[in-house]
Amino acid sequence: MTARVRRRWWRGCVPAAAALWVGALLGFGAALPGYVQSVHPVALLGAQGIAGAMAFNLFGFVLPGALCAVVAVSLRLRLPLHTGWRQRIGAQLMFLSTLGFVAMGVFRLDPVRLEGTQTLLHATAWGLWWSTALASALLLAGGLRRDPAWRGLVRGGPPLAGLAVLFALVLPAVLPDGLSQRVAILAWLGWCGLAAVSGPDRPLTATLRG
């Protein structure tokens, strides 16, 4: 049992990422006067000029995104070496989505200069995050649909990624930004979690051996 758990160590990455993200939101949000979780955007806690912004970006974006990137790499390594193009590209796009999440913490929002370079880079990272997630989920579901080991990701991946995009792009028109963004990120984390727990029970080095 211990060896089996050790072999699936990447499964703990998404719970750790979610705990870091939620903890950063609650902790830094409570420390910022007037900040309302359901109303204000997540990135405001890491914006330029906000006390503790760099620390929030580390614990709220960079580290959670890096942990999910580990899951994306593990997904690719658990696929056969000569797997189909949809699976390969889907895994690569998932990795890009996690990098987009990391980049949102690297390129901080500048509330004073909404047309400034930093804000535009942050917005680009946001777009990279959701667009590659949706494309990845659809490609992986299509490529893995006949493999029962990936049934969870095939069935749950597209709805969760679609939910993330819906709350990230459409529903902010009728819901507060804070609420819609949080649901979008939680749905994305759920998708990453499915990627971690789905798939065959095989060592990550098995792909390298063919």
What pLDDT, on a 0 to 100 scale, did the predictor assign at position 8? 80
Q: Is the pLDDT of residue 202 over 70?
A: no
Distance between CA atoms of 65 and 13, rounded to whole angstroms? 10
List the end-to-end C-alpha distance of the chain, in Å, as a whole number: 26
| Mean per-residue pLDDT, 22-49 | 94
Closest CA to 94 of 188, 201, 203, 199: 188
| Residue 165 or 201, more confident | 165
Inform me whether the pLDDT recorded for 7 exceeds 70.
no
The mean pLDDT value for 54-60 works out to 97
Q: How confident is the model at residue 210 (pLDDT cuts 50, 70, 90)?
A: very low
User: What pLDDT is stored for residue 6 in this prediction?
Assistant: 59
Is the pLDDT score of 30 beyond 70?
Answer: yes
Report the pLDDT value the prediction gives residue 207, as an integer from 0 to 100.
52
- Taking only the tens place, the pLDDT of each residue in 72-89 is 999 999 887 778 999 999
